[in-house]
Amino acid sequence: MTTLPTSTQKKLGLVIDLDTCVGCHACVISCKGWNTENYGAPLSDQDAYGANPSGTFLNRVHSYEVQPAEGAAQLIHFPKSCLHCEDAPCVTVCPTGASYKRVEDGIVLVNESDCIGCGLCAWACPYGAREMDAEEKVMKKCTLCVDRIYNENLPEEDREPACVRTCPAGARHFGDFADPDSNVSRLTAERGGVDLMPEQGTKPVNKYLPPRPKDAMPEIDVLAPYLEPVVAEPKGFISWLDKALEKL
């Protein structure tokens, strides 16, 4: 049924730390690697070595330049994947029931054998988390590595999403938001984790930790302001050139 569960036992999701992310795209590659070789249809590429390469990705890293009112601009890397929303609009629009939100852990999944490839779920998602695979013609999305997190064939430290496992900066954290003492709940509370596009009313489970404020460099030498400027007026040839150009 594509009606949403009123509540889920767990709320599994990610915390993404925008202060720590270095924009290396390792999470993008590990995601594509794991999800191409495992659960569901592979993530295809079209014209991968040609003039117009394009392909299906479940996780993409944007980069934004943010210009404060004063001071230098900041560059912020911004990984984006499915936010496993509590009020997921992609689930309710699905005509076949292929899209669903799991009652046990809140993961939003697609049953690919029921997907007719109408694309309406991708239309309903404000975050661009769903992509239609051009080869398989079914909707692909982040599964929160559902085939890793419960997989007893993997060593225990690998039982987390591939993107989290691979992040060299430690900018991605996986856990249960329903548990107020979990790592992700505490991080969100301590660092003021936020929802993306809260006005869309999707109640995303994944949270983003905003970049920490930049510190200001204080004046190092108290006498520095009293020193004479090094170059006041140009001299010699430069002085002549300056005046000559002025007159033109």
Partner 1 sequence: MHPAPSVIIFTTFSGLGFGLLVWLGFGLPAVTGWTAFAFFTIAYVMAVGGLIASTFHLGHPERAMKAFRQWRSSWLSREGICAVVALILMALYGAGLVFLETRWSILGILGALFSLATVFTTSMIYTQLKTIPRWNMPLTPANFLSLSIAGGALLAGQVGTAVILLLIAGVIQFFTWKVGDSRLAESGTDMASATQLGGIGQVRAFEPPHTGTNYLLREFVHVVGRKHADKLRMIALGLMTALPVILLMLPFAHWVAVIAVIAHIAGVICTRWLFFAQAEHVVGLYYGKR
**Residues in touch with partner 1 (CB under 8 A):** 1-3, 18, 28, 52-57, 60-69, 73-76, 78, 80, 89, 91-98, 114-120, 122-128, 131-132, 134, 136-138, 194-201, 208, 210-211
CA diameter of the chain: 84
Cβ at position 171, least distance to partner 1 in Å:
15
Q: How far is CA 128 from CA 7, 61, 142, 246, in A?
A: 24, 12, 11, 56
Helix (H) or strand (E) holding 244: helix 236-247
Cβ at position 79, least distance to partner 1 in Å:
9
Cβ proximity to partner 1, 13 vs 149, nearer residue: 13
Of 141, 107, 103, 136, nearest to 122 by C-alpha is 141
Q: Which residue has the tokens 């988390």?
A: 129
d(CA 109, CA 146): 9
d(CA 177, CA 195): 13
Of 7, 15, 16, 17, nearest to 178 by C-alpha is 7
Cβ proximity to partner 1, 125 vs 167, nearer residue: 125
Question: Residue type at 33?
Answer: G
Cβ at position 42, least distance to partner 1 in Å:
15
Cβ proximity to partner 1, 101 vs 149, nearer residue: 101
Cβ proximity to partner 1, 71 vs 236, nearer residue: 71
Cβ at position 227, least distance to partner 1 in Å:
33
d(CA 212, CA 73): 14
Cβ proximity to partner 1, 89 vs 154, nearer residue: 89
Cβ at position 212, least distance to partner 1 in Å:
11
Cβ proximity to partner 1, 178 vs 196, nearer residue: 196
Cβ at position 116, least distance to partner 1 in Å:
5
